[in-house]
């Protein structure tokens, strides 16, 4: 028999055997078996469009024999009043701590990657710090909540696991998140206004941490900052005030100058 024919037959047999082995592994392989553990800490904030954002650590453990992939995370937050809102997976974040040993722990958060598939090899675990965002504007209030998280498998594209966790928000928690939202809104608008008029960023020594919430003795509150010509900036501390005010509501200085 010609050598070429023998080699061709051998190649076909090898290809057939390889195909049969791959088909067997595909049909007989064990699926990923998941165990999920939600962290006991939730951190809340608001987006510029008032969508509630929250982050938590999640431990993904695959006890199966093959690589497991989670393609999507979503769920629902339900208040004890019956109000509910859906949320979706937004991105990964990384956490850190500020301050020296012995100081109060003040966690810091930074962007660590957009939402993507979570891949966990067999007999392995992965810890992720995940940030979620509500699909619509949502106001966090004092009271009890139930969070349901749904994990979607990549291959079957359907819910493979549901987790529930209860959490409570005290009045102090709600006030803290609202203060942060006002401060971030104020800082963002002030940066835009300073950029518009080619002004240098405010020096740290002139920073007013709680400027949006400060009040004067006559109980006139700082107005919401909208970055328009209806506001003036204090020449002493840099605080932005309503143009109708004859003094700075933060430091009391009467002389202010307009950015118009």
Reading phi first (left if > 0) and then psi (alpha if -120 to 50, else beta), residue 182 is in alpha
Indicate the pLDDT class of residue 135, thresholds 50, 70 and 90. very high
- Tell me how far apart the alpha carbons of residues 102 and 212 are, in angstroms, rounded to a whole number: 31
Look at residue 47 in the predicted model and tell me its pLDDT: 87
Predicted confidence (pLDDT) at residue 7 exceeds the cutoff of 60: yes
| pLDDT digits 0-9 by tens, 61-108 | 998 877 888 888 999 999 988 899 999 999 998 877 655 666 666 667
pTM of the model: 0.60
Look at residue 219 in the predicted model and tell me its pLDDT: 40
User: What is the DSSP code (8-state) at residue 136?
Assistant: E
Indicate the pLDDT class of residue 137, thresholds 50, 70 and 90. very high
Beta strands in the chain (DSSP E): 34-38, 43-46, 51-62, 68-79, 84-98, 106-114, 118-120, 124-137, 143-153, 159-169, 231-234, 240-242, 256-258
| pLDDT digits 0-9 by tens, 197-254 | 776 666 544 444 443 333 333 343 444 444 445 667 776 666 676 666 666 766 666 6
The pair of structure tokens assigned to 227 is: 């970055």
Helix and strand numbers, DSSP H then E, in the chain: 2, 13
- The better pLDDT of the pair 69, 109 is held by 69
| pLDDT digits 0-9 by tens, 144-180 | 999 999 988 766 667 888 999 999 999 888 888 888 7
Q: Please enumerate in sequence order all residues whose Cβ is within 8 A of that of 69, keeping only pairs 6 or more positions apart, or say none.
A: 32, 117, 118, 119, 120, 153, 154, 155
Mean pLDDT of the 101-122 span? 78
């Amino acid at each position: 028999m010609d050598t070429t024919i023998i080699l061709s037959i051998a190649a076909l047999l090898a290809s057939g055997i390889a195909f049969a082995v791959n088909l067997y592994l595909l049909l007989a392989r064990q699926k990923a078996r998941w165990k999920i553990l939600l962290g006991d800490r939730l951190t809340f904030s608001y987006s510029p469009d008032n969508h509630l954002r929250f982050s938590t650590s999640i431990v993904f453990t695959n006890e199966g024999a093959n690589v497991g992939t989670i393609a999507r995370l979503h769920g629902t937050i339900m208040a004890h009043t019956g109000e509910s809102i859906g949320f979706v997976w937004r991105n990964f974040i990384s956490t850190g701590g500020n301050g020296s040993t012995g100081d109060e722990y003040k966690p810091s958060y930074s962007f660590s990657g957009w939402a993507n598939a979570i891949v966990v090899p067999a007999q392995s675990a992965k810890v992720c710090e995940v940030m979620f965002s509500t699909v619509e504007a949502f106001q966090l209030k004092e009271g009890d909540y139930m969070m349901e998280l749904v994990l979607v498998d990549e291959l079957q594209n359907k819910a493979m696991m549901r987790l529930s966790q209860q959490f409570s928000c005290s009045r102090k928690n709600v006030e803290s998140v609202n203060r942060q939202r006002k401060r971030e809104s104020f800082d963002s608008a002030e940066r835009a206004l300073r950029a518009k008029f080619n002004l240098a960023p405010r020096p740290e020594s002139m920073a007013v941490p709680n400027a949006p919430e400060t009040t004067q003795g006559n109980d006139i509150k700082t107005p919401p900052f909208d970055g328009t010509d209806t506001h003036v900036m204090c020449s002493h501390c840099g605080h932005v005030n309503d143009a109708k005010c004859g003094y700075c509501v933060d430091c009391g200085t009467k002389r202010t100058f307009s950015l118009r």
